[in-house]
Amino acid sequence: MDAIHKKVGKNLQAVRKSRGLSLDQTAELTGVSKAMIGQIERGDSNPTISVLWKIVNGLKISFTSLIEESKTEVTVVETERLEAFEEEDGAYRAFPMFPYDQRKGFEIYAVRMDPGCSHESEPHNEDVEEYIVVTGGSLEVEVDGETYAIGAGNAVRFPADQPHAYRNNTDQVTSYITLIHYPS
Amino acid sequence: MDAIHKKVGKNLQAVRKSRGLSLDQTAELTGVSKAMIGQIERGDSNPTISVLWKIVNGLKISFTSLIEESKTEVTVVETERLEAFEEEDGAYRAFPMFPYDQRKGFEIYAVRMDPGCSHESEPHNEDVEEYIVVTGGSLEVEVDGETYAIGAGNAVRFPADQPHAYRNNTDQVTSYITLIHYPS
DNA sequence: TACGAATGTATAATATATTGTACGAAGCGA
DNA sequence: TCGCTTCGTACAATATATTATACATTCGTA
């Protein structure tokens, strides 16, 4: 699922078969060897971009159609099964629930912060926005010198192209969901 | 210009420099070696799709942003300098003025047909359309058993997912522009 | 049944993508 | 100027992408 070249292989084979083309015919149309096309379809090879370019142009299809997920599938994620990025000696734990997807332009983490934990984040690039929904405990967010207290069930959004910090001043674990949106 | 990997290199370098990143930092972010990133930027290497995928995800950019032309440039095409696809012993000559561009989804040819020339075209795939503007002489187009006579200055459009034929029954050279549109 | 054509796969040879390391150039304080 | 760092490039070693060829299977046909 995550291996891009396998996705490309599936998509390519889908296009080829939907047109009733053989490997030989496809090789003729694209200028890429039959063996290579077969390997790409099976996921046995990691095509260079030049080869993909030839295929795309020979078949008169878009580049995107090869790298796109054929359909958006149901994806169930269990936080406990994810491997967290830990910071602050494990007191700050970020679980990548939906990793960055360049077609969507955002990523979603579930974060847990132990009592007393404080975490500073490097500024992101311009026009990057962060959305936070606190799901448990209470969170202090500091942006541009201002501090905002967000209780469970509440949310905040802020431009993340500047240094910002998260603090859990309570005596219980605070959890929140954060969505980071990158400009297209 | 036409070499895809050089375009990718330019775009990648543009992104990296606009963020003030060094090769080392980019390597750190993407998990791709510094040497490789340098080679890609210079066009010395033809990256595999997996490597591009890592870069795209590490930098939080879209795949498309790497393969797109940074800006649409002015492109002047002189038909006489183009190499024609010849058929019917050279009596049918097709000049690729604007070759297939998957982002646009179409391609444009200039065609010259000698007097008496007749040319049959294989059916294209479903939902492919052909637009023809006759610029000189007169053209007979046969689609689905029907024949249409198109004089200079006139045009025709038809679905090209069936056999179709072109004929020049006049005693002079007929020329026309044809645009072939492929579905997305 | 046998044959020929067409399919997708396996194999070996070659080209090249990818990496780790080392190098020279350019900035920057002391 | 000297060191120190950071930058991008050059190099050699290795992994692997790509090709041409040969192979096994299937299918239609005589």
Domain tally for chain A?
A: 2
Over residues A135-149, the mean pLDDT reads: 93
Answer whether A5 sits within 8 Å of B48, measured CB to CB.
yes
A99 and A8 fall within a common domain:
no
B90 and B176 fall within a common domain:
yes
pLDDT of amino acid B68:
82
B46 and B116 fall within a common domain:
no
Chain B CB contacts of A53 under 8 Å are: 4
Answer whether A62 sits within 8 Å of B102, measured CB to CB.
yes
Which of A4, A64, A100 is opposite residue B64, by nearest beta carbon? A64
Over residues B57-86, the mean pLDDT reads: 83
Provide the mean pLDDT of chain A. Answer: 90
pLDDT of amino acid B133:
86
Which of B49, B102, B182 is opposite residue A49, by nearest beta carbon? B49
Query: If you ran DSSP here, which 8-state letter would residue A48 be given?
Result: B
Q: What is the pLDDT of residues B29-56, one digit of tens each?
A: 999 999 999 999 999 999 999 999 999 9
Q: Is A72 inside any structural domain?
A: no
A30 and A95 fall within a common domain:
no
pLDDT of amino acid B124:
86
Indicate if the pLDDT at residue B70 is higher than 80: no
Of all protein residues, which has its CA closest to the C1' atom of C7? A22
A100 and A166 fall within a common domain:
yes
Q: Which of A67, A89, A105 is the last residue of a domain?
A: A67
Indicate if the pLDDT at residue A107 is higher than 80: yes
Q: Which of A42, A67, A92 is the last residue of a domain?
A: A67
> What CATH number is given to the structural domain containing A55?
1.10.260.40
Provide the mean pLDDT of chain B. Answer: 91
Q: What is the pLDDT of residues A44-77, one digit of tens each?
A: 999 999 999 999 999 999 998 998 875 555 777 7
B22 and B113 fall within a common domain:
no
Å between B44 CA and C18 C1'?
A: 12
Q: Which of B45, B67, B89 is the last residue of a domain?
A: B67
A55 and A88 fall within a common domain:
no
B83 and B52 fall within a common domain:
no
Q: Is B74 inside any structural domain?
A: no
Indicate if the pLDDT at residue B112 is higher than 90: yes
Indicate if the pLDDT at residue B1 is higher than 60: no
A60 and A144 fall within a common domain:
no
pLDDT of amino acid B102:
87
Q: Is B138 inside any structural domain?
A: yes
Å between A3 CA and C5 C1'?
A: 37
Domain membership of residue B111 as a residue range: 79-181
